[in-house]
Every structure is written in C-alpha cells, then in structure tokens.
A and B are shown apart, each in its own frame.
Chain A
Amino acid sequence: MTPEARDILLAAEREGGRYALAVPRDLGTRSGGTRLGSRPGRSLDFRDFRDYQPGDDLRWIDWGIYARSDRLTVKLYQEEVVPHLDLLVDGSRSLGPVTAAKGALALRLAGLLGVAALNARCSLAGWSLGERVQRWPGDGAGLATWELPEFTASRSPGESLLAEPPALRRNGIRTLVSDLLWPGEPLPFLRRFADGAQLAVVLWVLAAEELSPPLWGNSRLVDVESGEELEVRVDEHARQVYLQALAEHQALWREAARACGVQLVELTAGPEGGHVALEALVRMGLLEAS
C-alpha cells in the first residue's frame, strides 16, 4: 500500500474508533456463537415452550411435561450467533487513485467499516474485487496491518464476483464499497452478493464529476478500465444524454437492490464526503456510537 493509502486508513481508524457496527438482532449463524440471537436455536439457554407439531424433531420433546400433562410439548432454546462482516471493496481502476476524492472516500469507508466491525467484536473478512477476488492480507487484525490492493484492476466487480464467487459467510453482514459503474444487468450480481446474507449493504461512491460532467467540447473519451475510445462533442446536449443514461443506470441498480433486499447508500466524493458518509451510515443504522 502507498503511504497515502496508509494515512487514509489510519485517519479512518481514529475516526471510526467511536463507532461500532450495529449487529442486527436477528443475526444468526450457528450454535456455539459469541452472542445470543433472537431466534430459537440450539444453545443451552432456554427460550420457550410450544405445542408439538408434526414434523418437529422428536428429540426436542419435553418428556417431563408429557408425563405430567399427556401433551406433547417442544422445548425451544435461544440460538447463539457469531456476528460477521464480509467487507467487499471494488478494486477496479474506475475508483481512481487514492489521491483523488473518490478513491480516498472508498478507502476511508472501508477503514471505517473495518474498525467498526472490530469494535463490535465481529469477525471480519476483507475481499478485494479486482482482476481476481482475493482476501487482502491482515484483514482480521487492526487497520495498520491491512494490505488492501490498489484500485488498478481493469476487470469490473460484476465480472469478478460472478466468475469467482468468494466464500462469503452465511447469515453475516455484507458490505460492498463500489462505484457500480459497469454495464450489464445488476440483478445477478446483487443476488449473488446478497445470497444468504442477513444484511447486505452497498455503499455507492460516485465522484462529483461523474454526477455532473463539465462541458468538455470535442473530446476523445477513453474508458479507464477497458481502454475503449469514443469521440464525442461534450456539449449541453451530450451532457443531458449522459445524465439521462446515468439516471437510468441508477434507477436500474436501485430497482435491483430493492428486489434483492440490498440497502443502497449513495455517496458523493468530495471535501465533505467523509462526514456525510459517516452520518449516512449512522442514520441508516449500520454504525452506532460505541
């Protein structure tokens, strides 16, 4: 990692120290967890009784109640959960260098979420969606040990995630930091991303220039990832066409996120982007003051 990226992460660690990841109450994974969940499970903590129903496992029948009342009653126990965060970060070149506002915000968000997860005693797995999908070294420890790859991949997360689906933890929390700027149908990507997750959140980071491009005049536009070129005259008409396409792209993702139960947080990179993002995450309940 570059010194600039390391500085951003350390700043995020200081800033995020006051926050913890808000673990949903019904987050469940398996027996032998570190917290009690809100659903019936198989821990030793008794929860409730209810009448036996055909199909219930006979092993959970309370034979003492049966002997006394001649009624089949099933014992329910509290489940135990292990809160877990899978933090996915877009590694594509479109996020830009960390010296630019967009890349800096993406890195800062990853740092904030990472430190908040550690504050909440969540296990953490950090995944970089670059040329390949890989866990970055040191993701389980403090941010100082992270070795987050730079944003240099020419492959979009849409291709990476579907081609090499990572082993994301079931019933965990999943967050993705990305600009979602790649063509194609978002539903398969979001379905795969949210499949089996208890909570799935996408932090959609866009640069101010992407939301409102300047009037560049005659330009040869070069895609930073694919290298494709297009010669256009960027005047007010072209800008409107671009904004229309962007609006349709955003609407497509919003609709797909709604269909897949994924929460979408739209953030704009800029001087105040970090504070705004933090407030948005607190407001939506993903972070809470620790």
Chain B
Amino acid sequence: MPFLAYPLALLGLATVPGLVAIYLLHRRFERREVTALFLWSALARAEQGGRRLERFRMPLLFLVELLALVALALAATDLRYLAGRGARPLVVVLDDSYSLRAVVGETSARDRGLAALRKEVDRYRPTSVRVILAGADPQVAVAAAPPVLALDQVEQRWRCLAPAGNLVAALSLAAEVGEPGAAVAVVTDHPPEEGMLVPGRRWLAVGLPAPNAAFIAARRSPLDGERDRCFLQVANPGRVPVRTSLTVTGDGQPLGLDRSLDLPPGGSEQVVFELPKAVDMVRAELAADALATDNQVLLLPPRPHRVRVVNAIADATLREQVDQALAASGLRDPAAGVPELVISDRSPGPAQAQRWTLEIRVPKESLPFTGPFVADWGHRLIQGLDFGGVVWAGQAGTEPEGQPVLMAGNTSLLEDLEAGGGHALRMYLDVSRSTISRTPNWPALFWNLLDWRAEHHPGFVETEVRMGQTARLLLPPIPPDVAAPAIRLEVPDGPARELAGQASGECAVAAGVPGVYSARVGDQTYRFACNALSPREGDLGDCRTAGLGADPTGGVLRRDYASGAWVCGLLACGLLFLHAFLLRPRVRS
C-alpha cells in the first residue's frame, strides 16, 4: 500500500490513540491569582494528562484535534494535483503622466499600454502582479494580486492624469515592494534612458510621435479695481512646426481674440489681453490635436486683494496724508461694507480677526528722532523700508505694550498687539515734526499694511493652480467658542465630498485633475482652476513604440503536478486556530 511508504504519515496516525488516551485522563486545575496573565499567554494549553480515567467531556475539541492530526498525516504523504504553469511574480510600473492620453490614430497610448500589458501577462503567467503608478510621486496602485484581478484594477486606476511620470522613483519603489527575484515591466510612451534597461526588466514603450501644441503658462491678474488682465503662453515642444488656432471665451461668449498660431519647433507665443468688466470664467482653447489635456486652460477671477479701509483720523493733515498713501497703494477698496481695517488717531476699538486697527497716537510733547532706528526686520509691516535720513517724532521714553516693530533707542515708535485673532497696530507719530510722510517709506508702509491685511482674506490663495500642485484654502475666522464649519468640496472628476472643519484656519486641496474646484464654507463659495501646463508632457516628439528587454521572468517553468501538501497544512492550521478559539481565555462574569 503506497500509504505505508510515508513513515511521517504513519507516525501522525499513530498519535491518534495517544490523543484518545490523553482525553481519557483526568486533570485538576487549582485556582491561582496572578498580576499579569498576559505574560503567561504565550504558553500553549498545558499538557492534558493525569491518572484517572474519565469519559469524553469535550467531544468537539477532540474532533478538531483528531482532524488536525489526520490533515497533518495527509500533508506528510505529499499529495499532488495537476497544476498549470508557474512563473515569478511581476511588478508593473505604469507611467501615469498625462502624455499617455495622447491619441494617435484611433487609440491612446494608455489603451495601447493596456493591451501590451495584457499580452505580456498572458505570455508569462506571473504568480502575482503588483502595480505601481509612476506619477510625480509614485504610489502602489495594486498590492500583490492574481494577474486577472490586477489587470481589472489597472483599468480602473490607471488614469494618466499626473503632471509628470517619475519613473526613476517608481523603479526604486518597485525594487522595495517587489518580492526577491520579481520581474519588472515598465509601460510608458518613450524609450528608456541610459541605464534604465537592466536584466530582468521589460520596457514596453507604447507611444507614437505626433505634433502637439500646448498651453505652458496661464495667469489672470487684477489690472485695476474692476478689470483683469490675462496672460497665456502657447508652446510647441515637439520637433516639427505646428499650426493651431486659439479661441478665447469669457463666460461662454467670444472675446474677439481668436487667432491662428504658427509655432516653430521648440517655439512659443505669448498672448496678453485685458478682460471686459465682470467676466467670471475665461476659457482658452487650442485646436484639437493628439493631446487634448493641454489644449484648454480655465482662468477664474483672482482672489480679492483689496481692503475696505475706514480712515477715522480727526487731524485733517494726517488724515489727508494717510488717504494719499492708501490711494497710492492701489489696494484700497472703495466699496462700502464692514471695514477690514480701521485707522484712527483716537481709540479705534478692539481688533478682531476681520477688523484690524491702526492707531496713530500723536504725542503731546513729541521728540524728533533721527535714528539710528532699531527695527524687527522680520515683521511684515516694515519689509523693504529704509529709515536712513528719516526724522520721526515720537513720545520720548514710551515703552512698548506689544511686540515692538520699530524703536528709536528705548522709545517705541511702532508696535503690534495681536488681539482677537487680528492685529492692533500702534504708531507714535507727530507728523508735523517728522519727515517720514514725505519719504517713499510712507506709501510703502501702507502698501505693506494693506497687502498684509489682504493676504488674510478667506479663499484659495491662488485661483490658478498647475495640475499636481496643492491649493491652499484660508478659511473665514471662527469665534473661539464655535465649532469649525464643514467644508463641501466639489471636484471636476467626482462627487462632492465633505472635509472636516479645520481649527488651524486653513486646509490644503490637491489639484489632481484639470477643471474647476469649488469649496463651500458656510454661505461662501471659493474656487480655483487647475490647468495642465507641463511643456515636458506636451512634447510628443520623443514618443516611440518598442518592446525592449528580455523575457523578464527568465523563462517559464512548466509543472504538470504540484504538491497539495500545503492544502492539508492549511487545513490543519485552520483546525488549530479553531482549537485555539475554542480554548480562548474567557472572562468570568
């Protein structure tokens, strides 16, 4: 009988009577209190032995143990079953940059890549497939999975929307996550650079060269209080001349800027135009070519950068000089509304997050200082100022109450008292005995103040963001005793989602897909536009189709029969787990 040829299996079966004998022996456990039972838990259940015979008390446990022994005995017989072919595991690195969306002929590089990948997997039949997406930052898209499942997941997750494909980092990641001896296949649209094609690596280039015009820069900035100016740069990163056409619309209406562009190889053309008043969204498009992703840019109105100021200074001369400086800054918002900055020579009231104050105290007995002045040059208010030759009349011996910004010796001239989430600034100045208001420092000081205040406006800091970058959203100030409101974020490629309220006052939004993103906070909506503006990705001149590198699996090893001992071992493990579960320590109620 072949079964008798396996001594280990016989030995396993021989233990069965022993097991029965153990179950027939009586045991008695004495109760003892211990302080750290967890230190004993490493022990298996104690040997079950004794002298007295007793009838079976735990038939289920006995059954489990018996089955486990039989399973182990079967494992020892090395059962075999008919197996297919087996090979090494495969790590697939997929270039996730958006140049693979280029359509030449009827298929995109991504489609060709998928087909090539399926073919490779069919040929080599790897034991498992891991997938790494090589975007700007590579990431594991599929952990080790059966080939069919992995390919299905690749189809869903490989979107080719990254602003760059960092293959070097992705190959490093592949070496880290791949099992020892795993083969690597790279799917991209260009041939390997020097040193990237090494033994055990298969390079599937699925690109096709094509002419392509692309936007590589786009910006919308305020021109004056009501109108904006736009800047566009269109490039031909390829090797052949390109003729394309530019279409610009504002809120869907033509702006009369349509034109054709003739771009030499490597050349670019800049387009600058001013927008009519009250245009919300500007859309600029190029004629259809191989790569559609970089043929469109969206430009939203820039973030409001002007500040509502109330000049409540009583002294006529000083008020006029402050008004002139505010007007010269170009950052004062003439619109009526809740003031964002109050300037006064008397008490301007408490400062709040949305209401900053500047108090200009006029000394009763001023003393002119000609310097040297000691300044906190890291403070936002005095950046770029030069007090050389300036006469500043302040109140001699005034000690700072807040953070000193500018001092003449031990006399405070300008200080910052942070209060209520805002800033209460205080200036000691007798303008009639000072020259500061007749120097360029004066308008520069107020420009710094208004620019600093405007930076704290809620909303996205940038309304145009390049694909792959992160947009910073400054949230409206929240009273200390009120919970931060939730943020509802709408993205171009999926359903809206809620972001948790941020106590820090700001949050970051990753711009991964071109289009308009909007965040609703309370009753306010803030937006930014994400555009694909990468000249490197727009260059389709280097794209090639090739299959390079030898068989990455090193040949297929055929196995007609495979050992099934592991199945029996697994069954035995399962039974032992069940055994451990049945014997788990229980809390006595």
Contact = CB atoms under 8 A, between A and B. Distances in A.
Given A228-B37, A241-B43, A58 B587 contact: no
Interface in A224-240: 224-234, 238
Interface string B8-50: 0000000000000000000111111111111111110111000
A130 B47 CA distance: 37
B400 A232 contact: no
A220 B46 contact: no
A162 interface: no
A181 to B, nearest CB: 4
B377 interface: yes
Interface of A: 54-55, 57-59, 61, 63, 66-67, 70, 72, 94, 96, 179, 181-183, 207, 210, 216-234, 238, 241-242, 244-246, 249
B494 interface: no
A231 B586 CA distance: 11
Given A63-B410, A223-B34, A218 B378 contact: no
A246 B41 CA distance: 11
A223 B29 contact: no
A111 B283 CA distance: 77
Interface centre among B27, B30, B378 (most CB of A within 10 A): B30
- Residue of A181, A183, A207, A231 with highest tally of chain B CB at under 10 A: A231
A183 B404 contact: no
B35 A210 contact: yes
Q: Provide the main secondary structure of the chain B interface.
A: loop
A219 B32 contact: yes
Contacts of A96: 35
A218 B28 contact: yes
Contacts of B39: 181, 242, 245-246, 249
A233 B46 contact: yes
**3 closest Cβ pairs, A-B complex:** A233-B46, A223-B37, A94-B35
Contacts of A242: 39-40, 42-43
Interface in B355-402: 372, 374, 376-378, 399-400
A219 B35 contact: no
B409 A63 contact: yes
Contact of B586 (A94, A181, A228, A232): A228
B52 interface: no
B465 interface: no
Contact of A94 (B36, B374, B376, B403): B36
Given A61-B374, A229-B586, A222 B34 contact: yes
B30 A216 contact: yes
B588 interface: yes
Interface in B61-85: none
A58 to B, nearest CB: 4
Nearest to B415: A58
A211 to B, nearest CB: 11
B46 A224 contact: no
Contact of B33 (A59, A61, A224): A224
B585 A54 contact: no
A210 B39 CA distance: 10
Contacts of A234: 46
B35 A181 contact: yes
A96 B42 CA distance: 24
Nearest to B376: A58
Contacts of A222: 31-34, 37, 588
A121 B523 CA distance: 57
A55 B42 contact: no
A66 B409 contact: yes
18 contacts: A55-B378, A63-B410, A96-B35, A181-B35, A181-B36, A182-B38, A183-B38, A210-B35, A219-B30, A222-B31, A223-B37, A223-B38, A226-B587, A228-B585, A229-B585, A229-B587, A232-B43, A242-B39
Contact of A221 (B28, B37, B399): B37
Given A218-B29, A230-B37, A54 B377 contact: yes
Given A228-B587, A233-B47, A238-B43, A72 B374 contact: yes
Interface in B544-589: 585-588
B307 interface: no
B407 interface: yes
A130 to B, nearest CB: 16
B32 A221 contact: yes
Given A72-B374, A94-B36, A231 B587 contact: no
Contacts of A216: 30, 32
B37 A59 contact: no
Contacts of A246: 36, 39
Nearest to A94: B35
A183 to B, nearest CB: 4
A226 B45 CA distance: 19
A221 to B, nearest CB: 5
Given A228-B587, A229-B586, A230-B41, A218 B400 contact: no
B360 to A, nearest CB: 20
Contacts of B377: 54
Contacts of A72: 374
A217 to B, nearest CB: 7
Given A218-B27, A221-B34, A229 B588 contact: yes
Contacts of B585: 228-230
Contact of B407 (A58, A218, A225): A58
A36 B37 CA distance: 48
Most chain A beta carbons < 10 A, residue from B36, B404, B407: B36
A70 B27 CA distance: 93
A221 B374 CA distance: 74
B378 to A, nearest CB: 7
Contacts of A245: 38-40, 42
Contacts of A61: 374, 407, 410
Contacts of A226: 37, 587
A67 B408 CA distance: 11
Nearest to B50: A218
Contacts of B407: 58, 61
A221 B409 contact: no
A227 B400 contact: no
B46 A218 contact: yes
Contacts of B29: 218-220, 231
B38 A232 contact: no
B321 to A, nearest CB: 26
Nearest to A64: B410
Contacts of A57: 403-404
A222 B35 CA distance: 8
Contact of A67 (B33, B38, B409, B586): B409
A232 B43 CA distance: 7
A8 B377 CA distance: 63
A72 B376 CA distance: 13
